[in-house]
Amino acid sequence: MKLKQKSSWITYKEMLNKVKNDSVKSWLTENGPITKRISANEDFELSLIRDEIDKVDEIDKKYLDNEVGDIKVREVILLGNKIPKVYAKSLIPVNTIENGFSKLGSLGTKPLGDILFEKNIFKKIEVVYSTFSNEISIFWGRKTKYLVRSLPFSVMEIFLIDE
């Protein structure tokens, strides 16, 4: 999915002032699993784009507390009734998988939210917000940093709802 970040990351308070669409705002402020929200009203499906060790840029490394070593990049599309609803990209350092929670390394086509919200070992540290675009539309997204046994990983979700 070709989405380009259009604005810098902003805080929750700044996002509340900028987002005018209540539906978009409700997705950005969702506290539970996005998969559960989609499947409550629609047939949920996860399409795995990639799940592999890859290079990440310096901004993402900094967000992960300057984590050294290999990082697993996992990209998925969450669909409701066959319509793309969310593009999600997780950055999971191999160190976090090996020493934090091994199941993060073997999700396959299982939604991350299935374990993220059912285990009491994950701690949400920070959430930031930004806009993204393709050739036609502008979308809002959020990036969340979590810790598991004091080791970081991040999840970025772009909600494919026109602002």
CATH 3.40.1410.10 fits 4-159, yes or no: yes
The amino acid that residue 131 corresponds to is T
In the prediction, which pLDDT does 163 show?
59
Structure tokens at 74: 């996992």
* Mean pLDDT, the chain cut into blocks of 10 residues (163 residues total): 91 96 95 93 96 93 89 97 96 96 93 85 96 93 96 97 71
What global pTM score does this model have? 0.94
Pull the structure tokens for residue 58: 């310096």
Segments making up each domain of the chain, as ranges = 4-159
